[in-house]
Amino acid sequence: MLMTAHTGVSDYLAAVQRLVPLIDEHRGSFDTERRIPDAVFIALAEAGLFRLYLPKILGGPELSPFDFMNVVEAACALDGSVGWLVGNGAGMSRTGGYLPEAVVRDWFADPHTFIASATGAVGVAERVAGGYRVSGRWPFGSGAHHATRFMGLASVKSADGESEPPLCCYFAKCDVTVHDNWFVSGLRATGSCDFEVRDVFVSADHSHPLVDFKPTQPGLIYRLPGLSAFASTISAVPLGIARGAIDAFIALAGRKTRAWAAPCCCARASSFRRWWGARKRRCTPRVPCWSMPWRSS
């Protein structure tokens, strides 16, 4: 069931944990298919995990960056590719604070909305009546096979031929060609393929500047610089993967071994547990300074 604007971060963390059996069931296909299965994508979407930054007025939870990162980290602890897609998909729900309210309501009326985005290249936009004609090809479109919308950066040429600051342009799935070229060794199930558009019309209300934009919603998150999205979206991923690795090792170290079993890393499990307990006692809760405005409001 899709979560509503009244859902708190604890509910999303619980939703992540409920997905453990489904992810374990399909994990074997992640590397071979190079994308997450439809069943996993649908479960993530219906848990509301792709709309963590969506404004409350539009039916989203509008999480703080700190809570957002906790959810992404928890998802990455289960599987790096799954967590990466949660971070990217939910990160793009921040679009709800930049585009006109009517546009966002229309797009996110579908609970399976996922916006694949790419900033690794810049397309070309030509001003025309009512918007732009855009062409370009962008790499690293994570979740491209499941995306309902795509966002690519485009450079607008001014009348004197000079390039203006990049524009975020949004494309409907039907206008996009996805190139199935994601053959990598890590994060294989993210399906981060190239996508391309050729001379596609993008209306003015389906675009906004990458920098110096004017938020359409009052929330604090929408007043942060656009480039701050990378900090909350990407930094939680390695933290979550590391946490998952530690959790897995702790579970392995806790298993009983047979007297006749071959020596392994678990042979010194008690030593490891003592070492790990000491490290945990020295740790302090991670509360970044940017979480304070939300926590004090």
Model pLDDT for residues 183-203, shown as the tens digit of each residue: 999 999 999 999 999 999 999
Q: Say yes or no: 106 and 145 in one domain.
A: no
Q: Is 278 within a domain?
A: no
Number of structural domains in the chain: 2
CATH number where 157 lies: 2.40.110.10
Q: Is 216 within a domain?
A: no
Q: Say yes or no: 122 and 106 in one domain.
A: no
Angle at 30 between CA 28 and CA 31, to 5 degrees: 95
Q: Say yes or no: 49 and 188 in one domain.
A: no
Q: Say yes or no: 234 and 179 in one domain.
A: no
Q: Say yes or no: 103 and 230 in one domain.
A: yes
Q: Which band of pLDDT confidence, cut at 50, 70 and 90, is reported for residue 135?
A: very high
CATH number where 25 lies: 1.10.540.10
Q: Which domain holds residue 147?
A: 115-209
Strand ordering across the sheet containing 207-209: 177-179, 193-203, 131-141, 115-128, 149-156, 167-172, 207-209
Alpha helices by DSSP H, listed for 93-235, are: 101-108, 228-234
Q: Say yes or no: 101 and 124 in one domain.
A: no
Model confidence at 271: pLDDT above 90: no
Tell me the pLDDT of the chain averaged across its residues. 87
Q: Is 275 within a domain?
A: no
Q: Which band of pLDDT confidence, cut at 50, 70 and 90, is reported for residue 296?
A: very low
Q: Which amino acid is at 32?
A: T
Highest-pLDDT range among 5-9, 167-171, 249-253: 167-171
Q: Say yes or no: 106 and 119 in one domain.
A: no
Q: Say yes or no: 123 and 102 in one domain.
A: no
β-pairing, 149-156 vs 167-172, is antiparallel
For the residues 102-115, what does the mean pLDDT come to?
A: 96
Q: Say yes or no: 18 and 152 in one domain.
A: no
Report the alpha-carbon distance of residue 218 to residue 58 in Å, rounded.
Answer: 12
Q: Is 294 within a domain?
A: no
Q: Say yes or no: 151 and 234 in one domain.
A: no
pLDDT at 233: 86
Q: Say yes or no: 13 and 104 in one domain.
A: yes
Q: Say yes or no: 122 and 169 in one domain.
A: yes
Contact by Cβ (8 Å): 147, 141: yes
Model confidence at 258: pLDDT above 80: no
pLDDT at 105: 96
Model confidence at 147: pLDDT above 70: yes
Q: Is 84 within a domain?
A: yes
Q: Is 167 within a domain?
A: yes
Q: Is 136 left (phi over 0), alpha (psi -120 to 50) or beta?
A: left
